[in-house]
Structure 1
Amino acid sequence: MADNPPPKRADATRNRQRILAAARAAFAATGAETSMAEIARRSGVGSATLYRNFATRHELLEALLVDEVDEVCAAAATVEGGSPADRLTTWLQRFFHYVTTKRPVVIGLLEHTDRTDPVFQSRGRMLAAGQPLLSAAQDAHQIASDLDLDQILDLVVAIAKIPGTPEYRQPILDAALAGLHRHVT
Structure 2
Amino acid sequence: MSTTGAGPARPLRADAARNHRRIVDAAAAAFESDGADVALDEIARRAGVGVATLYRRFRTRDQLIRAVLEDVFTAEVEPTAAAGDGDPWADLTGSLTRAVEAIVGRRTLLRLARESGAYDVESVQRYGRVLARLLDRAREAGVVRDELTTRDLSAVLVMAMAVSTSDDDGPDPAADQRRYLALLLDGLRPGRPRLPEPSTAPPA
- Asked whether the two chains share a fold, i.e. TM above 0.5, the reply is yes
Normalised to the residue count of structure 2, the TM-score between the two structures is 0.61
Please point out which of 106, 109, 117 is paired with 2:113. Answer: 106
For 2:145 and 2:11, the matched residues in 1 are separated by 50
Whether the 8 Å contact between 1:88 and 1:137 is mirrored in structure 2 is yes
For 2:67 and 2:84, the matched residues in 1 are separated by 27
**CA RMSD in angstroms, aligned pairs only:** 3.8
Q: Does 1:55 align with 2:92?
A: no
Secondary structure (helix, strand or coil) at the match of 1:65 reads helix
Shift of 1:92: 0.6
Whether the 8 Å contact between 1:76 and 1:130 is mirrored in structure 2 is no
Q: Does 1:21 align with 2:22?
A: no
Q: Report what 1:160 is aligned to.
A: 164
Q: Does 1:12 align with 2:16?
A: yes
For 1:144 and 1:172, the matched residues in 2 are separated by 21
Shift of 1:99: 4.8
Whether the 8 Å contact between 2:138 and 2:144 is mirrored in structure 1 is yes
Q: Report what 2:179 is aligned to.
A: 172
Q: Which amino acid aligns with 1:107?
A: R
Q: Report what 1:113 is aligned to.
A: none
Q: Does 1:68 align with 2:68?
A: no
Q: Report what 1:128 is aligned to.
A: 129
Whether the 8 Å contact between 1:61 and 1:108 is mirrored in structure 2 is no
For 1:119 and 1:30, the matched residues in 2 are separated by 25
Please point out which of 18, 37, 40 is paired with 2:41. Answer: 37
Structure 2: segments with no counterpart, 5+ residues: 1-8, 190-204
> How many residue pairs are counted as aligned between the two chains?
172
CA offsets per residue over residues 91-124 of structure 1, 9 Å max, x none?
21243145532413413532xxxxxx76563144
Runs of 4+ in 1 over 6 A off after TM superposition: none
User: Which shows bigger deviation, 121-130 or 43-52?
Assistant: 121-130
Percent of aligned pairs with the same residue? 33
For 1:181 and 1:108, the matched residues in 2 are separated by 28
Whether the 8 Å contact between 2:77 and 2:102 is mirrored in structure 1 is no
Q: Which amino acid aligns with 1:40?
A: A
Secondary structure (helix, strand or coil) at the match of 1:38 reads helix
For 1:75 and 1:95, the matched residues in 2 are separated by 9
Normalised to the residue count of structure 1, the TM-score between the two structures is 0.66
Question: Whose helix fraction is larger, Structure 1's or Structure 2's?
Answer: 1
